[in-house]
Amino acid sequence: ILDRGKLFHSYVEQSLQNKIEDDFKIVEQYIKSVKSVLEDIESVRLLESRVIHPYLHYQGFVDCVGLYRGNPVVIDFKTSAKPKSTLSSTYDSPLQVAAYLGAMNYDPSYETLPNISSALIVIAYETGMPANVHCLNEKKCLKYWDFWCKRLLQFKNMNCEPR
């Protein structure tokens, strides 16, 4: 399953660069699921790019930064066997994209990018059913950023106690 996830992400990356070079037969249902979403993404600025928050000391890999239906967003692509039609069914994915947004907006490597305040979580399905697209506007991103900061503080406090 992990290999399928990596292969799917590779397809998304190659598709958004308009250069499909590999054989993606094994993930064709995920591709079918997400195809119409990819058509709405343009002006891609980043793909599979490492972000580091210089003050909060965490890092991650952003799947994509681009325009979705004309709006600048951080995009996180997920695969799933089960439907995830609500944002809450994506578990910690909103925290993850909020953390990426926070890191990207503070990471000096990305200072040439405009400040991005919205995110997208795209769930592709192994059955080929149409992907669910969860849009997080600035208000939602700030809400999940707050949750993320609390969780990060909790983690740091757990790991700072003497043994």
Q: Which residue has the tokens 């910690």?
A: 92
For residue 41, the enclosing domain spans 2-158
**DSSP tag of 113:** S
Instruction: Say which of 22, 63, 139, 156 is annotated catalytic.
Output: 63
Looking at the domain assignment, is residue 120 inside a domain? yes
How many structural domains compose the chain?
1
Q: Where are the beta strands (DSSP E) in the chain?
A: 41-53, 58-68, 71-80, 119-125, 132-136
Looking at the domain assignment, is residue 94 inside a domain? yes
Looking at the domain assignment, is residue 31 inside a domain? yes
- CATH classification at residue 112: 3.90.320.10
C-alpha pair distances (Å), 12 with each of 83, 122, 152:
20, 11, 30
Looking at the domain assignment, is residue 163 inside a domain? no
State residue 161's pLDDT score. Answer: 62
Q: What is the mean pLDDT of each run of 10 residues along the chain (163 residues)?
A: 82 92 90 97 96 96 97 97 96 98 94 93 98 98 98 85 62
Its pTM stands at 0.93
Number of continuous H segments (helices) and E segments (strands) in the chain? 4, 5
63 is catalytic: yes
State residue 99's pLDDT score. Answer: 98
Looking at the domain assignment, is residue 55 inside a domain? yes
Instruction: Say which of 6, 76, 92, 150 is annotated catalytic.
Output: 76
CA distance 104 to 116: 8
Looking at the domain assignment, is residue 49 inside a domain? yes
